[in-house]
Amino acid sequence: MYFTTSICEEMSHMEENSDGKISFDKYFRYCEIQAYLTRLSRDYEAIVKVENYGLSYEKRNLTLIKISSGGSNKRPLIFLDAGIHAREWLAPAQALYIIEQLVENPSNKGLIKNIDWIVIPVANPDGYEYTHMRDRQWRKTRSAGKYCDGVDLNRNFDFHWSDADKDECSIFYAGAEPFSEPEARALRDVILKYAHRIKLYLSLHSAAQSLLYPWGFTTDPPGNIKELHDLALNVSQTIYHFNKTEYKVGSSAEISGSVTGSSRDWVYGVANIQLAYTIELIQNYLGRLAVAHSDLVTIENYGSSYEGRNLTLIKVSTGSTKNKPIVFVDAGIHAREWITPAQALYVVNQLVENSTNINLIDKVDWIVIPLINPDGYEYTYTKDRFWRKTRSKGLICDGVDLNRNFNFHWRGKGADRDECSDAYAGPRPFSESESIALSQVLLRHADRIKLYITFHAPLQSLLYPYGYTSQLPVNNEELLDLGLKVAKSIYAVNKNKYKVGTSVQLFAYTAGSSRDWAYGVAKINLSYTVELPPYPASEYEIPPEKILSVVAEMFEAIKTFHQYVQDKFYKWFSGPQYRQTMEEILATKDDVQEIEKLVSSDDKESDY
């Protein structure tokens, strides 16, 4: 079924938005966005005009909003579009926020006094609706193809189009010919109509957290490189001063890799608009938390991935004292295990936004890394759903299994020397920037971390050291007893049984894991791998409607872990035994120097 202009009538259950009002606590459907624009044109007719500038493939209206305080038609114009890529829901939301601030916030009237604005909130409405109805990760248009449907609009513009992807089934498919898509032709025509007045073009995307200027097809600099770069730096500094969020600045080719046939390059190269940018927004749930709950939340970038993405952690603390035990949680070390970042984010959400859980942060601090392996994770969305490793380059095959790359019995049993294996341990311990960064942040807080939890899937188990040997750890009884308590708390929710034991006892050898390293080197004596459950249809793809039940169930386990840490360590941190033991724990900091040596070393083998 194709939705057309009658979609709002068919979606009558959305009564709260029938009056065209909007908020920013949810993502809106296309008809709701249309209704909002219509209301603005009615309530603010002196400054707002709404126009349909074309039709999509599925015959939806393509709509823009003009915002002007009047005056001459010769005033400079800022042109902004969003939603070229269907799944990037944050971009239309950002466009709507800009519209709201320009039109409905009188304190911003200076922004429209001498400059006019044209904003297109959703340039690809067919794809946008498809992500709401059928496939959340759909990126392209919905035009019919011979083998696969859809075209990447941001590869369909006639500027170095011939170098773009010709595979119909690729998410980057450039189309049968330039401007094959009605959405691209309509956007082209409206830009050319106003090109003599447009002085700044902004195309909103997500989620690479960057300000990108031409070119995408080459690393050669554009003619006004200094102006483009200086303005982008100024903007990035403004963002940073607001909430400490860092945006990268540079050309697309330098920062994101080759992109041909993009709207931005066409605008600069053909329409001759000299200030043309792609703004890659951050998927800013964590950023929003840091602003809304600044008394509890701190966001830090603790390193960079192989492909240059920020590695981000969130600290949750009431700040009442620095002498509190820390629970350290990470997820997403294996790219294809999508449920694990969702689990980590649910933990953050419950700690920060659920006031009934205030007791969980009163006497214990938390550090959570929702996604350790962002390069691999992104690759599972764009190329290979079942990719597991990092994206570092190899001689024959790319990527390293991060959970075999830690320098504790590296390349022992369960770790592979074969570059093409999913369990490849890397050419040397800590060969990966992601494992180095994680180890360093763990060592930096090792004196206070009393529990380390790393989320994986899909073995439905609670695993403690060791993975390299069948030998039991010295505090096996404690680890087993706590694991059993946690398993019991999970079972009490909905009768799901979790196995408890060492990796070797229950499954297989896994030498070089983050958990064994945390236990054996960082001396975190409570270290667990928490394997979330599989789903019968696909081990790694839990249906969206099932995710909440999985992560909510596991949060009961988190509560049990927390209670144990609080009961055992909170008072200890204020007593004499804490001061007495500090020197022993801090001795592990010497491993930072060892790691730095490994990073700079050219050795390809290890004695392990």
Q: What is the residue-wise DSSP string for 405-423?
A: -SSSSTT-TT-B--TTSTT
The pLDDT value given to residue 540: 73
Token digits for 215? 């070119």
List CB contacts of 42: < 8 A, sequence separation 6 or more: none
Asked if 531 is an active-site residue, the reply is: yes
Shared domain check, 154 and 238: yes
3-state helix, strand, coil in the chain (%, to 5): 40, 15, 45
CA dist., res. 600 & res. 76, Å (int): 52
Range of the domain at 313: 293-600
Shared domain check, 244 and 335: no
CA dist., res. 43 & res. 179, Å (int): 36
Shared domain check, 340 and 479: yes
Shared domain check, 203 and 341: no
Residue pair 121/33 in contact (Cβ under 8 Å)? The answer is yes
Task: Give burial (CB, 10 Å; 0-12/13-18/19+) of 491.
Answer: middle
Shared domain check, 434 and 310: yes
List CB contacts of 236: < 8 A, sequence separation 6 or more: 211, 246, 247, 248, 249
Residue pair 481/473 in contact (Cβ under 8 Å)? The answer is no
Tracing tokens 């019919």 back to the chain, one arrives at 144
Shared domain check, 297 and 245: no
Q: Per the domain annotation, does 605 fall within a domain? A: no
The pLDDT value given to residue 574: 54
Shared domain check, 531 and 564: yes
Domain boundary among 281, 304, 332: 281
Shared domain check, 454 and 362: yes
Domain boundary among 248, 281, 314: 281
Token digits for 174? 């450039």
Q: How many residues are present in the chain?
A: 608
Number of structural domains in the chain = 2
Residue pair 81/263 in contact (Cβ under 8 Å)? The answer is yes
Q: What is the residue-wise DSSP string for 237-256?
A: HHHHHHH----EEEEHHHHT
Q: Per the domain annotation, does 374 fall within a domain? A: yes
Shared domain check, 357 and 275: no
Q: What is the CATH number of the domain that holds 518?
A: 3.40.630.10
Q: Per the domain annotation, does 477 fall within a domain? A: yes
Shared domain check, 297 and 274: no
Residue pair 479/485 in contact (Cβ under 8 Å)? The answer is no
Q: Per the domain annotation, does 606 fall within a domain? A: no
Tracing tokens 């599972």 back to the chain, one arrives at 380
Shared domain check, 355 and 261: no
Question: Among 88, 129, 280, 531, which one carries the catalytic annotation?
Answer: 531
- For the chain, 608 residues long, the average pLDDT of each consecutive 10-residue run is 36 46 80 94 95 97 95 90 93 94 95 96 97 88 95 94 80 93 98 96 86 91 94 92 80 84 94 86 68 84 89 90 90 95 93 93 96 92 89 96 96 94 96 97 96 96 96 97 97 94 94 96 97 77 79 95 95 54 48 46 30
Query: How far, CA to CA in Å, does 298 sit from each of 130, 240, 308, 352, 565?
Result: 36, 14, 22, 11, 22
In DSSP terms, 52 is beta-bridged to 63
Q: What is the residue-wise DSSP string for 558-577?
A: HHHHHHHHHHHHTTGGGSHH
User: Has this prediction a pTM greater than 0.85?
Assistant: no
Q: Per the domain annotation, does 286 fall within a domain? A: no
Shared domain check, 113 and 34: yes
The edge-to-edge listing of strands for the beta sheet with 326-330 is 297-304, 310-316, 365-369, 326-330, 449-456, 527-531, 461-464, 499-502
Q: Which pLDDT tens digit goes with each residue over 173-200?
A: 999 999 999 999 999 999 999 999 999 9
The pLDDT value given to residue 282: 55
Tracing tokens 């933990």 back to the chain, one arrives at 347
Q: Where are the alpha helices (DSSP H) in 44-181?
A: 90-104, 125-133
Q: Per the domain annotation, does 108 fall within a domain? A: yes
Q: Per the domain annotation, does 305 fall within a domain? A: yes
Q: Per the domain annotation, does 568 fall within a domain? A: yes
Domain boundary among 253, 281, 309: 281
